[in-house]
Structure 1
Amino acid sequence: MEKKFQALRVIATLFKVLAVIIVIAAIIAAVAGVVSFAVSHRGLGLSRLGLFSGINFLIGGLISGLFLYGFGELIYLLLAIEENTRAYRLPPGPPQNQQS
């Protein structure tokens, strides 16, 4: 059976790839933010603020990545439902001879 909606499959895959890129970028941004803030504000005692901003980067990136990945999976789910529905609605094949 031919696969329909190739553009939707590409879009769903792009959502999933983008989600992974966002999560990786969030982890890098969180680590870089904490390190850079700690280096630039060494004697001020504000390292907790840098830690909180790093955690915010991390949480925001993880949530964004999770939602984008879930949206890509949702598109694949809807495509699978469409394929199964179309396969169910097809007329049955010719009757087979039963020989005893």
Structure 2
Amino acid sequence: MTKRFKVLRAIATIWKILAWVELILGIIAAVGVLVLGLVGMSSLEAYGYSYPSDVPWQLAGPLGGLIGAFSVLVGVVFWFLMLYAIGEVIYVLLAIEENTRQPAPQQYAE
């Protein structure tokens, strides 16, 4: 039996690929936020800058980097699950359509 809805299958695959790309780039971004939080403020102090006056000093250093990296990771995982789920829902709907099209086996009364 030939597969139908080839474009829809391609779209579902693209959603899943986008989910993985978003996850990888998001993890890289979280690591970047963590590194900037751990190293960034000390390097700014070397150039004569001080902690911003409108935020508590704890949030401008390593603790801020940890909080920021954790927040980025939570958001990245959430969006990864959403994008991946979109692709999976499309595949489930296609599977339902294929199974509905198949004829049911005939049961004969004896």
TM-score, normalised relative to structure 1: 0.82
Decide whether the 8 Å contact of 2:18 with 2:83 is kept in 1.
yes
Deviation at 1:40, TM superposition (A): 1.5
Select which of 49, 52, 60 maps to 2:64.
49
- Moved beyond 4 Å, runs of 4+: none
Q: Distance in 1 between matches of 2:87 and 2:103?
A: 25
- The residue number in structure 2 matching 1:30 is 30
Unaligned runs of 5+ in 2: 46-50, 52-57
Q: Distance in 1 between matches of 2:103 and 2:35?
A: 57
Tell me the matched-pair count: 91
Q: Distance in 2 between matches of 1:60 and 1:88?
A: 44
Q: Secondary structure at the match of 1:66?
A: helix
Write the letter of the residue equivalent to 1:20: W
Select which of 51, 73, 77 maps to 2:92.
77
TM-score, normalised relative to structure 2: 0.75
Unaligned runs of 5+ in 1: 93-100
Write the letter of the residue equivalent to 1:19: A
Work out the percentage of aligned pairs sharing the same amino acid: 43
Q: Secondary structure at the match of 1:41?
A: helix
The CA deviation string for residues 1-55 of structure 1, in whole angstroms up to 9 with x for no partner, is 1111111100000000000111111111001111022111137652111111111
Decide whether the 8 Å contact of 2:23 with 2:76 is kept in 1.
yes
1:11 maps to 2:11: yes
Decide whether the 8 Å contact of 2:15 with 2:87 is kept in 1.
yes
Q: Distance in 2 between matches of 1:58 and 1:88?
A: 47
Decide whether the 8 Å contact of 2:37 with 2:63 is kept in 1.
no
After superposition, the CA RMSD in angstroms is 1.9
